[in-house]
Structure 1
Amino acid sequence: MARVIENPRELILNEAKKILHNEGFANISIRRVAKECNIAVGTIYNYFPTKKELIVEMMTNFWKEYFYNIQSIVSSQETFYVKLKSIFNNLAEFIKRFREVWLNNELYSSPDYIESGLEKQNIYIHKLIIIIEDLLKKEVDNHSHEITKKLNSYELASFIVMNFISMIQMPYFDYALFESILKELIQ
């Protein structure tokens, strides 16, 4: 009689994540994941027809975890600038973990992974821009004034996200200075 596995998709993803975190990308293979799950290789192919699809799903879950954390910040009762700084700090931690786990030469040596990874990254950066744009709109409603005379809310949110990423990657620019510039823009 065949063994019944509750939530095999999650089992596969969890075991693949363990391999990734403990041994690195090079040790992830469909056969290796099947062995760790104690299931047939064919079972994995039912859920993830290729290693690429397994990796992209793991990366997607990584981003979803980040956005789950961001939602708790956004729904808090903190002020706009406290929320923004918390989002920045979470993004810094996320990027640090992302570098350690996902920015791997082996992963990005294949054009398929590069294309899929960049496509997902662009989707999630856009999602972060929309979240910050919504915060900006609430901030403007609370103070009943225009966001800026030159930028609309989406452009300003894009400016914030791109500066966050730049500040994280090149920590020469102080967050406090960025916040003071932003306050001048929004006044």
Structure 2
Amino acid sequence: MSRIIENPKELILEKAKEILCNQGYSHLSMRTLAKECDIALGTIYNYYPTKKELVLEMMTGYWKEYFKLLQVIIASDDNLYVKLEKIFNELNLFIKQFKEIWLKPELYDKPDYVESGIERENIYIDKFIRVIESMLVKEASDDKITLKLDSYETAKFILLNFITMIQMPIFNYSSFEVFLRNILK
């Protein structure tokens, strides 16, 4: 008699993340995953026909968790600049963890992973820009800031500077905020 597994997809993703984080991509196989989940190999393939689809789903889940955190920051009563600093700090953590998990050379030996990963990353970067844009538009409608440039372009400017400051920490957040306050007067 077969056993019923509560949330098999979640179980598969959870165990796959554990394998990926603890043992690396090379140890993440569908067989190993089935064994770790204590389910049939066919069940794994029912949810994820290829390892690539499994890895991309895990990466997508990683982004979705970050966006949940963003929503908490945005919903807070903090002013725009406190929210942006919190977003910057969380983005710093996110990028460091992202590098450790997702930017391993073994993942980038496969061109289709790179292409698919970049496509999804671009989708999430645009979504991230839209989140910042919505904050700016709200602040401008409440007459708390003045947008001198297009809201999307301003949001893109903020996010790209955040990423640059994280990648090349020669410029700190507080200095950037001074510039930002002058731009959004």
TM-score (norm 1): 0.96
Q: What's 2:161 paired with?
A: 163
Q: Residues 3-18 of structure 1: matches in 2 within 5 Å?
A: 3-18=3-18
How many pairs were matched up? 185
Distance 2:25 2:167 in 1: 23
Distance 1:112 1:118 in 2: 10
CA positional deviation for 1:73: 0.1
Quote the sequence identity (%): 56
CA positional deviation for 1:145: 6.1
AA aligned opposite 1:171:
P
Q: Residues 110-125 of structure 1: matches in 2 within 5 Å?
A: 110-125=110-125
Q: Report if the CA contact (8 A) 2:52-2:113 is conserved.
A: yes
Distance 2:174 2:16 in 1: 40
CA deviations on 1:121-142 (whole Å, 9 max, x unpaired) are: 1011111100100110111122
CA positional deviation for 1:22: 1.0
CA positional deviation for 1:72: 0.2
Distance 1:88 1:6 in 2: 37
Q: Residues 46-85 of structure 1: matches in 2 within 5 Å?
A: 46-85=46-85
**What stretches of structure 2 of length at least 5 have no aligned partner?**
none
AA aligned opposite 1:88:
F
Q: What's 2:178 paired with?
A: 180
C-alpha spacing 1:69/1:42, structure 2 compared with 1 (3 Å): same
Residue 86 of structure 2 is aligned to residue 86 of structure 1: yes
The runs of at least 4 aligned residues of structure 1 exceeding 6 Å deviation read none
CA positional deviation for 1:144: 6.3
Distance 1:106 1:129 in 2: 29
CA positional deviation for 1:146: 3.8
